[in-house]
Amino acid sequence: MTIGFTKVQLGSLPNRYPLTAITSVIPGFAPLIFPPPCPAPKSAGHLSARPNMSAQPSTQPTYIIGHKNPDADAICSALSYAAFKEASGQKGFIPARCGNSNARIDAILNRFGASLPQFVGDVIPRIEDIMHRDPYKVSVDDTCARALELLDLHDVRALPVVGHDGRLEGYVSIFSLGDYFIPKPKRATSMRKVTSSINAIIRSIGGTEVIAYDAETVDELYVRVAAMELESFGKSATVEGIPNNKSVIVVGDRTDVHLRAIEMGVRIIIVTGGHRMKAEVLERAKAAKVSVAYADTDSATTAWAVRAATLVGGLVQRDAFTFKPQEKLSVARRRIVQNPALICHVVDEDGHLLGVFTKTDIINPPRAKLVLVDHNELSQAVDGAAEVEITEVVDHHRLGNAPTHQPILFINRPLGSTCSIVADMFRTADLKPTPQIAGLMMCGIISDTLLLQSPTTTPLDADLLQWLSRVADADVRALADMIFNAGSVLSSLSPAAAVRADCKLYKEGDRRFSVSQVEELGFTNFWKCEDALLEALEKYRMENGLNFSCLLVTDIDTQSSLFLIRGDAEIVQAITYPQKRPPDIFDLPGIVSRKKQLMPYLASLLGSANESE
């Protein structure tokens, strides 16, 4: 008789058998869910927005990070504020940086035995941040039973299929499996067909191997349930053109059928219902090299399980939707918006499966958390900061912050350095920093205030510096000598690198511009490379699409600066300071602070220029 697909047969199955996946999963099409991904290394310089996923969301680390092209205050305040968070019982804060170190920073860190903060090149959300690593998957040699087991157990709709080498072959879905198990009625033989091996069939039915010949060979076989009179047995196969040696006979305790099947030379006889083949009949099967297996389930259940032994490799859908782990989510969103894919696969350059994700993952991605120190403008922040969550700002510069979705802690004080703000937080909270952290904060204050000589310096900066000196047991003058003698930026870096070393981007009205600063002991090194510095400024301006670019070269000894500018002719002509070397090098006596002296001056020039337009 033909295998039946009645509700009585299906509903009577115990839950441990793969067939329940067909009866329960195909009608329901449950939402796609994946296992918790395992943490994996990220590519250098990119910050993962989601280190792991679990049933209970884990606490996301928050990165305390300074501005691009970090100076000593940016690095030292990141390290010090992370230490303050730890000392005050706040966990999960990690100091970070988004630029390279320099000789001055290295000297400071070496002096106090501290390490550079973690490098974070960008926090732009990428596929690797949302993908689920180590997903449920099947290989081309797995059976449909295994696929159905995973689909049912984990309530998923699709599974990646990988080859022997781990490369992605495609995927199987509940839809393709449904089409296989419930084909169109006119395809009678399709309802019997199973492409598998003897061993795979025995595993699929949860049976016991008795005799197995050529058990690993994969072949195209056909299931036949012997539930008719003996005279009719075999006729249906003849009518349908099914070769006897391709037949899988599912039968109960019917010795007459056992003997007839052995005589016909079928591929395997599966005795169901917990019954056993008689010893003398079993000997005949051995002589005829007919495989035999036992199953505890009834014939209908066993027949379904045999069909579930079909290897997944023959059902693979090859139109897998693939992505690379470094692909930006903004790009991926555009790719998947019109694609009906159930599952998106993440592969490496060689096609190996790395993970999976769904449309839900990409619509609601996790976002990294940042605390900005020593800056508050997005133009100076790590790339991608606008796309993640900024939870705090600790700064001493002008306001240029972007709007936030939620209220945040925003500390902006008119002090000489961000390290001064952090030091005052320690002291106000009656928390004593370690000598190492106290020393780092000293260096941040000394560097940013030019040893309390900058016009940004306040009495509180001086007071905090003395307090920190006692805690760190470090001499202020000795630290200053170490910092400012740590190496000339102009002699140790190329002109292009010197322009970028401490560079900040600004926007006033419709004009975008950059202001860099280097601090030297005298101008001797500057005059050796002024032309190259001007060329580097112009190149930087062009590369970044700026209206103009400036460089402030400050002599710490004389507390004066030289000012280089390239770009907007209207702004250059409006500068009222004396020219040191026409037309683009100016003498700025007494000007040492970019923040408190130069920026207000430039803002006034830009304001006048805007009014005249």
Residue showing tokens 């209220």: 407
Summarize the chain as % helix, strand, coil (round to 5).
Answer: 40, 20, 40
**Across the chain, which distance is largest between two alpha carbons, in Å?**
116
Q: What is the CATH number of the domain that holds 278?
A: 3.40.1390.20
One-letter amino acid identity for 98? C
Choosing from 484, 506, 522, the residue where a domain stops is 484
279 and 357 housed in the same domain: no
Flag the least confident range among 51-55, 331-335, 402-406: 51-55
Give a yes or no: residue 350 inside a domain.
Answer: yes
CA distances to 32, 47, 127 from 356, rounded to whole Å, are 11, 19, 9
The answer to whether 397 and 504 are in contact (CB under 8 A) is no
Give 442-452 pLDDT, tens digit per residue. 999 999 999 99
C-alpha to C-alpha distance for 344 and 355, rounded to whole angstroms: 9
457 neighbors 416 (Cβ within 8 angstroms) = yes
Residue 387 CB partners (closer than 8 Å, separation 6+): 123, 124, 125, 330, 367
Contacts of 559 (CB under 8 A, 6+ apart): 450, 453, 590, 592
User: How does residue 255 score in pLDDT terms, banded at 50, 70 and 90?
Assistant: very high
Domain range holding 393? 62-124+368-484
Order the strands of the 132-133 sheet from edge to edge.
132-133, 353-357, 344-347, 321-323
Share of the chain above pLDDT 70, in %: 87
Structure tokens, 587: 């003498």
Helical ranges in 15-71 per DSSP H: 19-28
In the structure, what pLDDT confidence band is assigned to residue 268 with cuts at 50, 70 and 90?
Answer: very high
Mean pLDDT of 180-191: 68
Evaluate whether residue 556 is within a structural domain. Answer: yes
SS3 507: strand
| Residues 413, 510 within the same domain | no
Domain co-membership, 381 together with 345? no
Q: Are residues 377 and 462 in the same domain?
A: yes
The reply to whether 412 falls in a domain is yes
CB-facing half-sphere around the CA of 571: CA atoms within 13 A:
22
Tally of structural domains, the chain: 4
Check whether residue 213 and residue 266 sit in a common domain.
Answer: yes
74 & 118 share domain: yes
Does residue 557 lie within any of the structural domains? yes
User: Is the pLDDT score of 377 beyond 60?
Assistant: yes
Return the top range by mean pLDDT from 118-132, 144-158, 535-549. Answer: 535-549
pLDDT at 440: 98
- Residue type for position 93: F
Together in a domain, 336 and 378: no
HEC-encoded secondary structure of 61-92: CEEEECCCCCCHHHHHHHHHHHHHHHHCCCCC
Query: Do 450 and 512 fall within a single domain?
Result: no
Q: Could you tell me the pLDDT band of residue 488, with boundaries at 50, 70 and 90?
A: confident
Task: With CA atoms as reference, report the closest residue to 129 among 58, 63, 14, 47.
Answer: 47
Across the chain, what does the average pLDDT equal? 86
CA distance 313 to 23: 23
Is 604 part of any domain?
Answer: yes
Residues 474 and 402 in one domain: yes
Name the domain boundary from 420, 454, 484: 484
Q: What is the pLDDT of residues 223-238, one digit of tens each?
A: 988 877 776 666 655 6
Tokens of 271: 């005795």
What's the predicted TM-score (pTM) here?
Answer: 0.65
* 3-class DSSP assignment, residue 436: helix
Ranking 117-131, 358-372, 376-390, 515-529 by mean pLDDT, the lowest is: 358-372
pLDDT digits (tens, 9 = 90+) for 36-69: 333 333 333 444 333 333 333 334 679 999 999 8
| CATH number, domain with residue 348 | 3.10.580.10
Per the DSSP assignment, residues forming a β-bridge with 193 are 222
Buried/exposed 118-147: b ≥16 CB within 10 Å, e otherwise: eebbbbbbbbbbbbbbebbbbbbebbbbbb
Q: What pLDDT, in 10s, does the model give residues 423-443?
A: 999 999 999 999 999 999 999
| CA 146 to each of CA 133, 140, 333: distance values in angstroms, whole numbers, following the listed order | 20, 11, 32
Given a contact cutoff of 8 angstroms between Cβ atoms, the answer to whether 258 and 269 are in contact is yes
219-225/247-251 β-pairing: parallel
16: pLDDT confidence band, cut at 50, 70 and 90?
very low
In this structure, is residue 175 part of a structural domain?
no
Average pLDDT of the segment spanning 396-411? 88
Instruction: Show the DSSP H helices in 473-547 as ranges.
Output: 476-484, 489-492, 495-501, 524-527, 530-543
CATH classification of the domain holding 380: 3.90.1640.10
Examine the domain organization and report whether 392 and 413 are in the same domain.
yes
SS3 assignment, position 180? helix
Q: Is residue 84 part of a domain?
A: yes
Same domain? For 608 and 502 the reply is yes
* Domain assignment present for 141: no
Residues 605 and 498 in one domain: yes
